[in-house]
Structure 1
Amino acid sequence: MSRLDDAQRRDWLRLIRTENIGPRSFRSLIERFGSAAAAIEALPSLARRGGGLIAPRVPDVREADTEIAALARLGGRFIGLDELDYPPALRETEGAPPLIAVRGRIDMLSRPMVGVVGARNASGAGRMMAAKLSRELGRTGLIIASGLARGIDAAAHEAGLDTGTLAALAGGHDRPYPPENLPLLEQILERGVVITEMPLGWVPRARDFPRRNRLVSGVSLAVLVVEAAERSGSLITARLAGEQGRDVFAVPGSPLDPRAAGTNQLIKQGAGLVTSAADILDVLGPLIERPPAAFREPPAPFAAEEPTESIRTRMLGLLGPTPLAVDDLAELAQASASDVQIVLLELDIAGRLERHPGGLVSLL
C-alpha cells in the first residue's frame, strides 16, 4: 500500500482544492497523469480544450503548506485515499474524497461502522432509542458514525463514547456546527475520531450537509434512521446509503408523530425494520466477520491518444442540460471509453460539466 510523502500530500491537497476539481475528476487526473504534480501542470491545456476561457486557479505551495500546518496544530492530519489509514468502506464508494482531514483516534477508522442518524428535533423516546441501539451496537465492536447534529446524532455519539464513535463535519475542523455540540465534539476528539473533507476555515452552508451525510453513509456498513420527517437530511443519508450499496434500517414510529413519517416510509420502501440491535446484527454479521477487502493498488497512468475533433464535436452535440448516461454517450458518439473519459475530464475542468448519480452527465 502506498503512502504519500510530504511533497505528494501537498500536491494532492493543491489539486483537490483547485476550482472545478471534485473527487471523480481528481481520480481521473491521477489515473491519466500518474501524479498530482503532473496533473496540475496539465490543467491549463485541459481547460482550454474543454472550452474554458481561463485555467482554474490552483492553490500555491505556500497555501497548501499553511493548511497542513494549521491542521497539525489542531492535532490532525490529512489521509489520502490510497493510504492504509483511510476508512476501507469509504474507499470503495464512488466519488470517495481523495483526502480527509482527521483528528482524534485514527486507529478507529479501520474498524467496522454503523451510521445512526435522525431528527434534530427528536422526541425523548427517539433519543432514548438511538442511545440504546448505539450502546448495544458499540458493545459488539461497531463504531457509531453520525454527523454531530442536534437530536438523534448527538444521542448516538454520546452513547458511543465508551466503545467508539466517528463524527463527520460539514465544515472545517475549526468551524464545527452546531455550536452547542462543541463540548460533545471535545469528548469525541478524546475518545473517538472526527473527519471532514472541507478546508480549514470553511463555514458549512446548506448544500454542504448532504456531502457530510455522504461521509456518514460511506464509512458505514449500514445506516440506521431512528426518527425523520418526510423531508429531512436523514432521508438524504438513507438515499445516499442505498446508492452506495449499504443496508438501510429504520425504527418504526407512531403514524401520529410527523417525526416518524420518514422512517415509516423507509420501511414501506424496503428498509429493515428495527426494534433491537439484533435486527441489524443478524444482517451485518457476515460483513463484520469478513476481513477487509484487499487493498487495490491505484491503476497505472493510462496513455491514450487525444480524441479527434470530430469525436469532440459529436460528444458536445449529444450533451445538453438533460442528464445522459456515460455509456449511452459513448455509443451514440461512436467513441471509445478513453475518448469519453478524456473529453468529460476536459469539460469538468473547464467548469462546463455536471455529474449526476447513476453515472449520468449533463452540460452546464
Structure 2
Amino acid sequence: MAERGMDRKSLSQEDRIAWLRLVRSENVGPVTFRKLVRRFGSAQQALDMLPEMSRRGGSAKTLRICSYEAAEREMADAERLGCRMIGLEEPDYPSALRAADGAPPLLTVKGSPSALTRPSVAIVGSRNASAVGGKIARSLAAGIGRAGYTITSGLARGIDAAAHEAALGSGTIAVMAGGLDRPYPPQNIPLLQSICESDSGIAVSEMPLDWEPRARDFPRRNRIIAGIGLGLIVVEAAKKSGSLISARIAGELGRLVFAVPGSPLDPRARGTNDLIKDGAILTSDADDVLQALAPLSGKTGPLDQLPLFREEEEIAPSAQIAPTDSDRTRVAQALGPAPVGIDDLVRHTDLPPAEIYVVLLELDLAGRLARHPGGSVSLLPGSAR
C-alpha cells in the first residue's frame, strides 16, 4: 500500500488479481475496499478475513468471494479486448478521482492512458439536446481542450456525444455504466471506437466485462465523471435528470459546478437555470470555465498528495482493535434507519472510534449497513437484530 510521500508504483500481477478478487466479492464496495486494505495491510489479507468479519457482523449466509480463477479469466478477457486494469495507487490512475471519496479501486480502461494523467473538465447534459445546446457543448469542449484539459463525459446521446466529438483531437475520457464491451447507447459505438483509437482518448469503466448497464449503474458512472473533472459543466438539463445528479456529486466532492443558462420556456433549461440560482457558475463560453479554474493552476497536484486511506489513518492503527460482542451490540443498537455520523456514534456508545470503524466494517460485509454522503451510516431495512 502506497504511503504518503512515496512514488506511485504499479501493482504486481498477484496484487492486481487480489485487488480484483476483493473488488468483485460480495458486499465490498469502494469505501469498504479502502477500509479493508487499511485495516489488514493488503487485499490478500483482507480476502482471508472476509468470511470471519461477515459472520461477526451478523450474516447468516456464506459471503460470496470472487475466486482466483474468475479474476484471472476477467483479466485475460480484458487483455484480449485490448483493455487493462489500473489500480487506485498506480501512476496512471486519474489524480483527481483518486482523492474522491468512493473512488473505484480498479478501473478497466481502453485507449491512451495519457488522457488520464492530464487535468480534466466534465461536460454533461440532456440526451434530447437542442441544436443550440449541441453547438454550445462542442464550443466549450473545443475551447477547454485547446487550453490543455481533457473532456470527460458519459458517451450518452446529445450533449455528451457532442462534447466527446469536439474533443477527439485534444483528449477525451468516456466513462461507461456497463462493461467496456457493452457500450450504451448502441448508436454511439462508432464514437467509442474513435475515442479508443485516438492518440488522446480513452474509455473507462469500473464494471466487469459483459456487464449490461442497468438504470442504477448510471449514477455510479456519474460519480466517476464528477470525480475525474476539476469542474463539471451542465449544458441543458431538465428538472429531474442524471446531469443534475452529476452536478450534486461534483459539489459534494468540492468541484466547481458550471451551468449554461437557457430560455425559461425550454424544459431542457430548467435544471441548469436552477443550478445557477443555487450558486453554480454562469457559463457562456470556455473562458468562463478557464478563468474559474485558473486558481487551480497546480491542477491535480494538491489533490494527488492527499492520503489514500485517510479516514482512520490519524486515529489509530486499527489492525490491533478487536471489539467484543458487547461492543458490537452497543453499536448495532445505536444504529437505525436514519443516517447518523461517526462522531454521534462515538458519543452515544462511548467506544473508541477505531472500534466503531471495525464494527461498521463487519456490518457492511454482512450486508446490514448503508453508507451515505459525508460518512454517515444507517442500518438497512430488516437488518436489525
TM-score > 0.5 by shorter chain:
yes
1:252-274 deviation digits (Å, cap 9, x = unpaired):
00000000000000000000000
What residue number does 1:65 align with?
72
In 2: Cα distance, 1:291 partner to 1:167 partner: 19
What residue number does 2:173 align with?
166
What residue number does 2:271 align with?
262
Classify the secondary structure of the residue corresponding to 1:248. strand
AA of the residue aligned to 1:292: G
Q: TM-score, normalised by structure 2?
A: 0.92
What residue number does 2:184 align with?
177
What residue number does 1:309 align with?
325
- Superposed displacement of residue 86, structure 1: 0.5
AA of the residue aligned to 1:64: A
What residue number does 1:354 align with?
370
What residue number does 2:120 align with?
113
Classify the secondary structure of the residue corresponding to 2:101. coil
1:261-309 deviation digits (Å, cap 9, x = unpaired):
0000000000000011111111101213446235466568643221122
1:143 to 150, 161, 178: 150
Q: TM-score, normalised by structure 1?
A: 0.98
* Distance change (3 Å), C-alpha of 1:128 and 1:291: closer
Consecutive aligned runs of 4 or more in structure 1 exceeding 6 Å deviation: none
In 2: Cα distance, 1:62 partner to 1:103 partner: 23
In 2: Cα distance, 1:331 partner to 1:276 partner: 49
What residue number does 1:276 align with?
285
In 1: Cα distance, 2:212 partner to 2:349 partner: 42
In 2: Cα distance, 1:175 partner to 1:314 partner: 45
Identical columns (%): 55
In 1: Cα distance, 2:80 partner to 2:338 partner: 46
Moved more, 201-210 or 283-292: 283-292
Note the 1:1-364 alignment, pairs <5 A: 1-191=8-198, 192-290=201-299, 292-293=301-302, 294-295=304-305, 302-364=318-380
- Superposed displacement of residue 59, structure 1: 1.4
In 2: Cα distance, 1:348 partner to 1:115 partner: 32
1:61-108 deviation digits (Å, cap 9, x = unpaired):
111001001111111111100111110000000011100001101011
In 2: Cα distance, 1:2 partner to 1:330 partner: 36
1:67 and 1:200 in contact (8 A); partners too: yes
AA of the residue aligned to 1:131: R
- Superposed displacement of residue 183, structure 1: 0.3
1:46-71 deviation digits (Å, cap 9, x = unpaired):
01100001231111111100100111
AA of the residue aligned to 1:283: A
Unaligned segments of structure 1, at least 5 residues: none
Root-mean-square deviation over aligned CA pairs: 1.3
1:144-198 deviation digits (Å, cap 9, x = unpaired):
0000000000000000001000000000011110000000000000120110000
2:237 and 2:269 in contact (8 A); partners too: yes
1:20 and 1:349 in contact (8 A); partners too: yes
1:114-153 deviation digits (Å, cap 9, x = unpaired):
0000000000000000001110000000100000000000
- Superposed displacement of residue 330, structure 1: 1.5
- Superposed displacement of residue 310, structure 1: 2.5
- Superposed displacement of residue 311, structure 1: 1.9
Moved more, 312-321 or 168-177: 312-321
In 2: Cα distance, 1:20 partner to 1:35 partner: 18
2:336 and 2:378 in contact (8 A); partners too: yes
* Distance change (3 Å), C-alpha of 1:290 and 1:259: closer
AA of the residue aligned to 2:355: D
2:119 and 2:300 in contact (8 A); partners too: no
AA of the residue aligned to 1:206: A
AA of the residue aligned to 1:160: A
* Number of aligned positions between the proteins: 364
1:112 and 1:288 in contact (8 A); partners too: no
AA of the residue aligned to 2:365: I
Classify the secondary structure of the residue corresponding to 1:249. strand
1:227 and 1:259 in contact (8 A); partners too: yes
